[in-house]
Structure 1
Amino acid sequence: MGLTFDDLPLRPELRGEEPYGAPQLDVPVLLNVNENPYPPSERIVADIASAVAEAARSLNRYPDREAWALRQDLAAYLGHDLTAAQVWAANGSNEVMLHLLLAFGGPSRVALSFAPTYSMYPEYARDTLTTWITGRRADDFTIDVEHAVAQIKQHAPSVVLLASPNNPTGTALPLSLVEAVCDVAPGVVVVDEAYGEFRRDGTPSALSLLPRFPKLAVSRTMSKAFAFAGGRLGYLAADSVVVDALRIVRLPYHLSAVTQAVARAALRNADELLARVAELRVRRDETVLWLRSLGLVAADSDANFVLFGTFPDRHAVWQGLLDRGVLIRETGPDGWLRVSIGTADEMAAFRAALQEVLGS
């Protein structure tokens, strides 16, 4: 017999668990992990390559462990009069979230969110021995203010996680909800704006609330709108004291010199990398209307994906699409599926495949 988990001193709550991850399958149309479907231009590729070459000349030395120049660039990109001291960066927003739970969670502490929401949140809580509690979202996936306030008063969470736009539903939260939560939350309130650049016109960012609420943090990522998923760079804006708390729990030199250089090159080319966002927003809204024209339910979305349903056997629909070369995500409440917004050709392939599967 080979070694098994039973032979290891594995933490009890990890037994029976599987590593997180969406299926990685080699199919023609990949619409399952909310990537930007457009790769960087050859000009940007050359700029990134030059930045990597420059960083490589000093790889015998450790990188700037504070990533100060990168944080300055991120602050400039975000605006709102932010400074580098108010910005934190890590290997994807996943690591930013883990830093938050390491700093503010832990045994006998509570992290609170509202389901359905991002499936990694409970894993951050589990990994940091933080109690995970979820309130509920309404049928339209919004959060009722009175319910949110009651949950916070009941559980006194040290961390509240609010995804806006929410994954997997695409729902953006009004600032009035964030304000109400900040007014009563005893700990840190995190608004996860990983899909913030895709918000519909008139949908505000929680960044505007930072001056009023010192324990508010707003996280972002370069993986989505920036078409930089392979670069692994997430970041957060908050009071400098909150940022300093995250600096305590980060690993030494957690951002490599190459990561910092490549991210700065991407920020230099922000206008070009973000140029397709408007196109993807239009295609998203068209997809919502098309799904509804089939008699399906499609959630209003401020992200680069659409949650739709409902199906008595969603796995059969997912498999039917996969059999036709289209990979989407089986996630969210029972009966729902999520499709990322791809190129025009990819969305045409999705529509044709779905109509075949549904027999319409």
Structure 2
Amino acid sequence: MCGIAGLFVGCTAMALCPRALLGQPALNQDSELTGPSNDDYRSPFRNWDERSAVRARPRRTLSPDDDSSLYFSPDLVPVAAHDLVRHLRPELFEQVLTQHLYRYLAFTEKLETLVVNGTVLAIASGSVGVPLPDEMRLDAYRIYCDEAYHALFSVDLMRQVVARTGTQPVLPDQPYFLRRLQEIQAALPSPMRPLAELLFVTISETLISATMGEVPMDPTVAPAVRDAIRDHAVDEGRHHAYFAIFLRHLWGALDSAGRREAALLAPRLIDAFLRPDQPAIRSELQSYGLTRDDAEQVVSEVYGENTVRTQVAAMAQRTVQYFAALEVFAAPEVADEFHRYGLQPAAQ
């Protein structure tokens, strides 16, 4: 889900998602690290047919009454609180919010179709080299359906907003998460590259952001946007629970050398996913008439390194705890690598 969280580092409402929406992902920390028994799997998808968005929710459409609504919560758009942006002409400020919605929707579409669903299909077909209960493989097909639908309703909603507002999306040619993943993979030995992508997806599905809980509660945002994000959140709560369990199965399938390499790689993948795309943000700010120096000032003040590291650590805390439960921090070099990225397990 929540590599999407990287879009909101620096926002004034950053906090852990309300659990009422995201659910309580389970990780039995007392289980053997050699991998859980096939009989232990308790599916998070038991009510999938009645509750998944693709099965149970209507198409979310803008209504004529939405013309006076915002397309994103200002408190969740990091640059919107900066004076140089907040004091833009009202129509330009509205474009800032609309472009943030476009980024969210485009990120969702590209993440689900270009990375997540390829990995999920491999899990479902049994080709990732991780022994799984049959029910887990069947649930992977359910995730595949969910993610494809998330991509569909993201594209659908973006097209509706473009038609309603006339504001065209200003988006980079390649999503930054994909560029960073490719750069990380290119620096790895060939045999490690599939594992990097598998970890990337597992990590992205267990990261937590405030956005999915906050936007649906904001009455100033168009109902179609609120409802679509709520639909997404409810589905992703199940995905989070699934991948928390999958991580344990993955660990049980790796030998000691593979575990070490995976543990050393994890903090780099977390940081790559959550660190904001500052060049794209600078470019967008200049499109609103800010000078290059003003755009640089906004980016440097909103995305100061201390702010980024603190919020990345907060969003990744649950994911880091999952790795801690696998005892990866017992290896000093792994603990040092997590610490280098400002990531460490919460004190017990």
Higher fraction of strand: 1
TM-score bracket relative to the smaller structure: under 0.3
User: Which has the bigger relative contact order, CA under 8 A and spacing at least 6?
Assistant: 2
